[in-house]
Structure formats: structure tokens, C-alpha cells
Amino acid sequence: KIMRRLYDYNMNPIGYVSENADGKQTAYDTNYRVLGYYFSGSDKTYDNNMRLVGRGDLLSAFYAPTAKR
């Protein structure tokens, strides 16, 4: 399992993304609350309630409002 810290343009932490060996990625905010999931096998992104967001890796969309601070 790999955990990456994400930063905004001012180098403030905005969240984390973990990646499992099977390709599943989980997006977290800075308090480690789940924002969403990306499943590489099906190439779909889901929100934290497992509602479909769209096709492809769209995890960065969960951080867009945070990055505009």
C-alpha cells in the first residue's frame, strides 16, 4: 500500500491518496476522511457513498474546492 500526500500551490497539505496493489485508490482529506475511490479494473470513480462520479481517475476533482483557498 502506497500513501501519497497532496499539496496545493502554496505547499499546504490538502489530502492523501492511497493505492493498493490491486490498483484501487482511495482519496482522503487532511483529517483522513474518505472522499472517494477509484477502481482501475473498471476505470470508474465513486464518491465516499459509493455513488458513481464518472469514468476514469477523477479523484483530483474531490480536491478542487480545497485548492482554491
Map residue 54 onto helix, strand or coil.
strand
pLDDT confidence of residue 38: 98
Instruction: Considering only the C-alpha atoms of the chain, give the largest distance between any 2 of them, rounded to a whole number of Å.
Output: 34
pLDDT at 69 over 60: no
pLDDT confidence of residue 66: 54
Is residue 15 within 8 A of residue 66, CB to CB? The reply is yes
Calpha distance 26→9 (Å, rounded): 22
Tens digit of pLDDT for each residue in 9-66?
889 999 999 999 999 999 999 999 999 999 999 999 999 999 999 999 999 999 876 5
Calpha distance 62→35 (Å, rounded): 7
Other CB atoms within a 10 A radius of the CB of residue 58 amount to 16
- Rounded to two decimals, what is the model's pTM? 0.87
